[in-house]
Amino acid sequence: MRNFITTSIPYVNDSPHIGHIYEFIIADIFARYKRLKGEEVFFQSGTDENGIKMVKSAEEKGRNVKEYVDEKYTEFYALKEKFNLSFDKFIRTTSEEHKLGVYKFWDLCKNDIYTGYYKGYYCISCESYYEESEAPDFICPIHKKKLEKFEEKNYFFKLTKYLDEVKKLIEEDKIKIYPIEKKIEILNILREGKIKDLSISRDAQRSKGWGIPVKNDNSQVIYVWFDALLNYLTGLGFGSDDESLFEKFWNKGIVYHFIGKDIVKFHAIYWPAMLLSAKIKVPENIIVHYHITIEGEKMSKTLGNVISPQDFLNKYPYEAVRFYLAHQPIFSDWDFSWNHFNEVYEGILKKDLANLILRIFGILKKAHFTEIDLDKNYLQEEIVNILKSFENEFKKFEFNSAYNKSLELVRKLNQLIDYKKIWESKDIEDFSTLVNGLLTILQIYEPLLPETINKIKEKLESKDNKFINKKITFSPFYR
């Protein structure tokens, strides 16, 4: 099985925050899970660097646009190493490779592109026009900012031509949207019949020339969403001299897009329609995570409550951050607080999981067995059932639920050690059960805590279904 796994690409108009690292980490966990299953994976992210928003942000800070964008790109790319993210590609939409792919795609859609005049209200923050009926108070419904009125000549894409086909693909689950509430939401939008053709360019003068120029028309730059969505193809080499990755992972693979709930319409309506026009396969899966509030408040610079990835690293090891974020609900809004983070860190990661691993290695170090037969496991059925429950939740992208179910095994093994006083035992079945439980926990938590689990696994040895007790020492991953 071939899997193409992507995150949305964040705008680089500002520094990374908790929402960005959350999406990166849950997608990374899924990519690592698939690799551990022996499946081929290409995992991609990147930065969205075009659009009027970039120009405005740089101007507000008195900066050169390119220098500002380069600086912010560096901040986002640095998260790869800081949080051990296994990206195979991190694309920039200002790169030449991306531009070539965008032009090829534009040509494939040329029969569905025409010129016209757009008159409406524009939100720079979400780079979208709004009809008066959509924002009667002239305030962006997402960003709560005043809309700007524009009238200009643009290129348009015949979006309406493909809406029925997009609706059918979603209804038949050929494009699966998770959770089902978001599928229903998109189908309702499509059934309302209010969607119009999409303006896919912007006046170059208004955009200060920042963006990808429309082919053979320097008076226009390509609309940032039309160009940004194409990163999913250009990152695989689409439009280059070597399209082998595009052929392997897009055309012959299964696509998984991880995105936030505020950009579902772009991914579930605009994107499939664009692909249908270009006669390219549509994505099979769109996984929509919800939003994070900070101690009951919306994250805001004005409130001074923005949490950056570095804020976490200043207080905790990066694997603690991965652990915490994976244990939060993906398909509902959730609230972050430092108190809650510390409760999960101290109570679950340290007290339950890390302490169990320490206890098991401590018991094995004192055991007189040099080999432990793994077939003598009296919790086999329970371990299998817990693993099955974990797998079922994981396949539904309910990562928090999956890991909460795996904690049943952690607690069960801790209880078993206490109840049977295994540190005093000379019964091989006790040790077989303990080691089987340990190996299952390592299997479950490797996508989440890859560095620590790999360090442990490197020290372990099994042969002919026997665990070789090398009496190793485990160094905890917390400080």
**Sheet with 201-203, side-by-side order of all strands:** 201-203, 217-222, 213-214
pLDDT of res. 132 = 62
Tell whether the model's pLDDT for residue 148 goes beyond 80. no
pLDDT of res. 471 = 82
Give the mean model confidence (pLDDT) for residues 322-331: 97
pLDDT of res. 398 = 97
pLDDT of res. 87 = 98
Sequence-distant (6+) residues with CB within 8 A of 30 are 5, 256, 258, 397, 399, 447
Q: How far apart are CA 281 and CA 100, in angstroms?
A: 20
| DSSP label at residue 421 | T
Q: How far apart are CA 453 and CA 326, in angstroms?
A: 16
Tell whether the model's pLDDT for residue 479 goes beyond 60. no
In sequence order, the β-bridge partners of residue 466 are: 373, 463
| DSSP label at residue 153 | E
Give the mean model confidence (pLDDT) for residues 423-434: 92
Tell whether the model's pLDDT for residue 14 goes beyond 70. yes
pLDDT of res. 177 = 98
Q: What is the pLDDT of residues 438-448, one digit of tens each?
A: 999 999 999 99
Domains assigned to the chain: 2-298 (3.40.50.620), 315-468 (1.10.730.10)
Q: Residue-wise over 280-302: b if at least 16 C-beta within 10 A, else e?
A: bebbbbbbbbbebebeeeebeee
* 347 contacts 341 by C-beta, under 8 angstroms: no
Q: How far apart are CA 121 and CA 474, in angstroms?
A: 60
Tell whether the model's pLDDT for residue 211 goes beyond 60. yes
Q: How far apart are CA 436 and CA 165, in angstroms?
A: 50
Give the mean model confidence (pLDDT) for residues 39-52: 96
* Nearest 10 degrees: Cα torsion 298, 304, 306, 308: -170
Give the mean model confidence (pLDDT) for residues 179-199: 96
Q: Count of CB atoms within 10 A of residue 179's CB? A: 19
In sequence order, the β-bridge partners of residue 467 are: 372, 462
* CA count, 13 A, side-chain hemisphere, 184: 3
Q: How confident is the model at residue 52 (pLDDT cuts 50, 70, 90)?
A: confident
* 28 contacts 85 by C-beta, under 8 angstroms: yes
* Nearest 10 degrees: Cα torsion 462, 464, 467, 471: -70
> Distances in Å between the alpha carbon of 338 and those of 40, 52, 334, 345, 409?
37, 35, 13, 10, 27
pLDDT of res. 129 = 65
- Across the chain, what does the average pLDDT equal? 92
Tell whether the model's pLDDT for residue 8 goes beyond 60. yes
Q: How far apart are CA 395 and CA 402, in angstroms?
A: 9
* 281 contacts 271 by C-beta, under 8 angstroms: no
* 374 contacts 462 by C-beta, under 8 angstroms: yes
Give the mean model confidence (pLDDT) for residues 449-455: 94
**Catalytic site residues?**
17, 20, 123, 126, 140, 143, 298, 301
Tell whether the model's pLDDT for residue 25 goes beyond 70. yes
* 277 contacts 112 by C-beta, under 8 angstroms: yes
Q: How confident is the model at residue 304 (pLDDT cuts 50, 70, 90)?
A: confident
Sequence-distant (6+) residues with CB within 8 A of 353 are 407, 410, 441, 445
pLDDT of res. 206 = 86
Q: At which residue do the structure tokens 């001299």 appear?
A: 241
Tell whether the model's pLDDT for residue 195 goes beyond 80. yes
Q: How confident is the model at residue 135 (pLDDT cuts 50, 70, 90)?
A: low
Give the mean model confidence (pLDDT) for residues 135-143: 67
Written as one letter, the residue type at 71 is: E
* CA count, 13 A, side-chain hemisphere, 343: 7
Written as one letter, the residue type at 198 is: L
Give the mean model confidence (pLDDT) for residues 184-195: 96
Q: What is the pLDDT of residues 83-133, one digit of tens each?
A: 999 999 999 999 999 999 999 999 999 999 999 987 777 776 666 666 666
Q: What is the pLDDT of residues 227-272, one digit of tens each?
A: 999 999 999 999 999 999 999 999 999 999 999 999 999 999 999 9
Sign of the torsion formed by the C-alpha atoms of 442, 448, 452 and 454? positive
Q: How confident is the model at residue 476 (pLDDT cuts 50, 70, 90)?
A: low
Tell whether the model's pLDDT for residue 284 goes beyond 90. yes
Q: Beta strands of 60-203 (E only): which ranges?
A: 89-92, 113-123, 128-130, 148-157, 176-178, 198-199, 201-203
Q: How confident is the model at residue 150 (pLDDT cuts 50, 70, 90)?
A: confident
Q: Which percentage of the chain shows pLDDT scores above 70?
A: 94
Tell whether the model's pLDDT for residue 160 goes beyond 80. yes
Sign of the torsion formed by the C-alpha atoms of 84, 86, 88 and 92? negative
Tell whether the model's pLDDT for residue 63 goes beyond 60. yes
Written as one letter, the residue type at 34 is: K
Q: How confident is the model at residue 53 (pLDDT cuts 50, 70, 90)?
A: confident
Whole-model pTM?
A: 0.94
Q: How far apart are CA 282 and CA 246, in angstroms?
A: 13
* 80 contacts 87 by C-beta, under 8 angstroms: yes
